[in-house]
């Protein structure tokens, strides 16, 4: 079994805390058998899983942006993260029990989980702050910078060499993001700084979680079911000092509904990501991620009244093309 290859796949498929870290002992033996044609039912299930993942991701981004327009909720980032972690815990717990039995829950050492949960909470909170203080387009494109950041961290901290073609792919990502964001509206110095902090912490988290999955010998949902409730517990001590207590009576009903639905969307995103793990390659998952990026960018720019330019088009092609090429190269 080629563990470095699996670890790369874990990093590529890591979004919102869920990565494919499960080690399948019989995978090498199965690879020797002739491939069986995929049934129509299986293809339909795959398509539904992808559609659920795309729909939940896009819905979550725009629900969160809507929620953060409320001045009170914008100052309740810790509580907001706790709500999403709670929904994720409930959904994964149900998924691990009868009649679903999608995975076997395990209990990991509490003290060893605390540092990882701190990064887990940090990357989600910074991501939400980036969305709150930046335009949707800038927020989404800045997230793509996580990929080259992961490669840099692996090079300096894990001694992983980077091939020439991989450097070209990462350079394309960086140039594409720079071109598209050079004239971005709705972005301040503070917002840009938060975005940089967000993708940097996310990259650290992805590298670390890939290692922990191997160390603990667990699957991604098993690890996440341990992370989410512990993260809620940690943030419970922080929220009173960081968040401003909201006057619920002053919050519009449609915003409260959006707040409730955002928790369901976050849970659906995690569940769909778990469902498609093992059903398709990391490259397919990456392409689906690029589709989500295009949808979010397009809707974000239309809602912001931004004029799409040739430079924007070139930037998107470079960014998405570079990310796809990097994903493909990482599987070799």
Residue whose token pair is 């979680």: 209
Alpha carbon distance 136, 97 (integer Å): 37
Longest dimension (CA), the chain: 63
Q: Are 132 and 185 in contact, with CB atoms under 8 Å apart? A: no
Low-confidence residues in the chain, pLDDT < 50:
1-32
pLDDT of residue 213: 85
Query: Residue ranges of the domains in the chain?
Result: 41-330
Is the peptide bond preceding residue 99 cis, with omega within 30 degrees of 0?
Answer: yes
- SS3 of 15, please? strand
Is the peptide bond preceding residue 142 cis, with omega within 30 degrees of 0?
Answer: no
Q: What pTM was estimated for this model as a whole?
A: 0.75
pLDDT in tens, 257-298: 999 999 999 988 877 876 776 566 555 666 677 788 888 888
pLDDT of residue 327: 73
Q: Are 126 and 245 in contact, with CB atoms under 8 Å apart? A: no
- 75 CB-side CA count, 13 A: 10
Alpha carbon distance 122, 89 (integer Å): 17
pLDDT in tens, 113-161: 999 999 889 989 999 999 999 888 888 888 888 878 888 888 888 788 7
What residues have CB less than 8 Å from 22, skipping those under 6 apart? Answer: 218, 219, 220, 277, 278
pLDDT of residue 209: 82
Q: Which two tokens stand for residue 71?
A: 């001045």
pLDDT of residue 23: 31
pLDDT of residue 20: 35
């Amino acid at each position: 079994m080629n563990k470095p290859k699996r670890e790369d796949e874990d990093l590529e498929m890591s979004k919102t805390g869920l990565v494919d870290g499960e080690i399948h002992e019989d995978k090498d033996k199965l690879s020797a058998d002739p491939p069986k044609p995929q049934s129509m039912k299986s293809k339909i299930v795959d398509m539904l899983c992808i559609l659920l993942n795309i729909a939940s991701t896009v819905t979550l981004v725009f629900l969160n942006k809507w929620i953060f327009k409320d001045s009170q909720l914008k100052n309740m980032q810790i509580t907001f993260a706790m709500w999403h972690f709670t929904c994720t815990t409930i959904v994964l717990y149900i998924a691990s029990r009868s009649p679903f039995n999608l995975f076997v829950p395990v209990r990991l050492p509490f003290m060893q989980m605390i540092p990882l949960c701190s990064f887990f909470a940090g990357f989600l909170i910074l991501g939400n702050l980036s969305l709150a203080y930046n335009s949707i387009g800038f927020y989404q494109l800045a997230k793509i910078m996580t990929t080259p950041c992961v490669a840099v961290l692996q090079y300096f901290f894990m001694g992983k060499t980077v091939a020439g073609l991989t450097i070209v792919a990462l350079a394309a990502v960086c140039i594409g993001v720079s071109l598209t964001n050079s004239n971005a509206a709705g972005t301040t110095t503070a917002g840009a700084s938060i975005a940089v902090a967000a993708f940097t912490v996310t990259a650290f988290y992805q590298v670390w979680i890939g290692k922990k999955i191997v160390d603990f010998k667990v699957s991604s949902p098993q690890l996440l079911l341990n992370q989410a409730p512990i993260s809620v517990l940690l943030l419970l001590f922080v929220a009173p000092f960081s968040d401003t207590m909201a006057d619920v009576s002053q919050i519009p009903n449609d915003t409260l509904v959006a707040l409730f639905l955002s928790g369901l969307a976050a849970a659906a995103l995690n569940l769909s990501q778990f469902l498609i793990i093992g059903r398709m390659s990391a490259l397919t998952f990456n392409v689906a991620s690029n589709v989500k990026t295009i949808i979010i960018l397009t809707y974000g720019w239309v809602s912001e009244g931004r004029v799409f330019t040739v430079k924007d088009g070139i930037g998107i092609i470079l960014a998405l093309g570079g990310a796809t090429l990097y994903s493909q190269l990482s599987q070799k």
